[in-house]
Structure 1
């Protein structure tokens, strides 16, 4: 897969999500959410879910898990996704002529 395919998949997922998301909670998750609500006393539980998504995303990015999965699935990194170019495109390697190893050491 490629950077373009990743961009298309992110756009598709973004449009599929919409602005509201219904989430079913198991017993453990409900208990943990109740603990966080009691601790942080937010306006509504949606704020805690938003925070949780940010924390999960940031920790996946910091630990390299995001890049690992992006490299496996799309052969790009998050930095490449953000810039819209692969490292080869950024450094001009994709446009460089092929090396001639036979003549490389001739003067």
Structure 2
């Protein structure tokens, strides 16, 4: 897969999300959410879910897990996604023809 495919899939997913997202919760998650809501007293429970997504995203980026998953699935990193260019495109490495080792030193 490639940077273009990642961008397309991300745009498709983004458009599929409505302003509201229904999520089913298991017993443990409901318990943890109730405790967080009681302790942090947000205006809405939705705010806690938004914060949780931001925290998961940030920790996934900081630990390198996002880059690992992107490299495995799309052969790009998060930085390459943000710039819209692969490392090879940024450095110009994809502009040169590959060297033919058998003919490299022939005149």
TM-score (norm 1): 0.92
Cα distance in 1 between the residues matched to 2:57 and 2:37: 21
Match of 1:34 in 2: 34
Cα distance in 2 between the residues matched to 1:100 and 1:91: 21
Which residues of structure 1 form unaligned runs of 5+? Answer: none
CA shift at 1:101, angstroms? Answer: 3.9
Aligned residue for 1:94, secondary structure, equals: helix
CA shift at 1:19, angstroms? Answer: 1.0
Cα distance in 2 between the residues matched to 1:102 and 1:20: 60
CA RMSD of aligned residues (A): 1.4
Cα distance in 2 between the residues matched to 1:6 and 1:38: 39
Which residues of structure 2 form unaligned runs of 5+? Answer: none
CA shift at 1:83, angstroms? Answer: 0.3
TM-score (norm 2): 0.92
